Structure 1
Amino acid sequence: MENNKKSIFLIDFDITISKKDSTDVLLETHQPEFKKELRKRYRAGEYSIREFIKYGLGSLNITREQYIKTLQENVLIDETFIDFIKSGMEFKIVSAGSRLNVQGTLLKYGINLPDSEVISNDLKFNGADKNEITVENPFLDKKGYYGVDKKEAVENYKKQGYTTYFIGDGPSDYKALEVADFAFVRKGTRAVKFCQENGIEFFEFGDFEEILEWRKK
């Protein structure tokens, strides 16, 4: 019966599609000392994921062009994701980082995603005397912790009658992995342990070819 039902893949970006965390790369390139401080505060529980992104990206003092150039020079993706797109599967990218991180990185690979395909935070570049970057959260979770409500994204598609597949790797994905119809977890990441400990059925994947194979079966 399920084959007659429409299905959608909701896919995290950092460490799931990309090989490195794109926000970390931007901070490492332009604000390495501040990144250490932020990371320390996040680990100590003083900052939420939303605050890490807000203060991190807000500290960069670079133009939009420099921002995209940094991503394209330093962030690589799992190139089997290109085959996944070509397969015609319906998908959206759901990221706690920023929409520009996703779109800017993927452009290098000839993937031009419209805003409607990326559920993420928006950036405003106010370049007067200094290049000020402001993070806006159009998909804010109720507690304001993650910045993007990935769980709600899954539930919205379930309400529309979709079979939902969530693909992720880390803490901002946990709530979405719990409510999706099926979970795919990047091999060797923290989400593997989370799914095991919480009795969530999942497929541990090494690349997107394996997900396409699974889907065929």
Structure 2
Amino acid sequence: MNKFAIIVAGGSGTRMGAPVPKQYLEVGGKPILMHTLEVFHNTLPDIRLILVIPEKDFGYWADLCGQHQFEIPHSVVNGGNSRFQSVKNGLESIFQEEGIVAIHDGVRPFVNPSVIRESFEVANKSGSAIAVVALKDSLRKLTDDGKSFFQERQNFRLVQTPQTFLLSKIRKAFEVTELYHFTDDATVYEHQGWQVELISGNPENIKITSPEDMAYADFLIQRKNK
């Protein structure tokens, strides 16, 4: 099958408080984005990688690739004003009719290769595969009148990426007008009336958004290199 991965990295990184967007910050001696692209390439060498970043960053990214001698093949696509639009731009850059496409946050460099492989296998059979992890903490639901109620945590999951789909189905799903509740690709897919298939993610697959996340990322890199 044709295999694709759309790596979405259009954020400005304001929560990080760094001089450059978070996706370009270095962990383990190279930008976060390079780690993310590497894990997909190393897991599935025949995959086509599509990196979605703001057009104004194209030159900066090219300079980073030169500085770090980063030679993993990938195409670069202009991002949109929202994640929905960025993913849609990535999908529109794929000219093949059939295949499997993983959609992944650029600042999740610690996805386990086994999760990537399983996501493609499950999506090929059922149409979708959404990586999730169980909650460890207790959960309470807040109400408008200031009250809160206990929720059974075993009934909930934290959603990660990759979110992987049959190309034909997710392309059709993204033909709709963007809605406020489209918080991820799974919600866009569900809007068609299709049920998503869940797979187990890995807890280390954090979305790096804060200085605390960077400290944890440094720890994970050091542990990986031991």
| TM-score, normalization by structure 1 | 0.37
Name the structure with the higher helix share.
1
Name the structure with the higher strand share.
2
| TM-score, normalization by structure 2 | 0.36
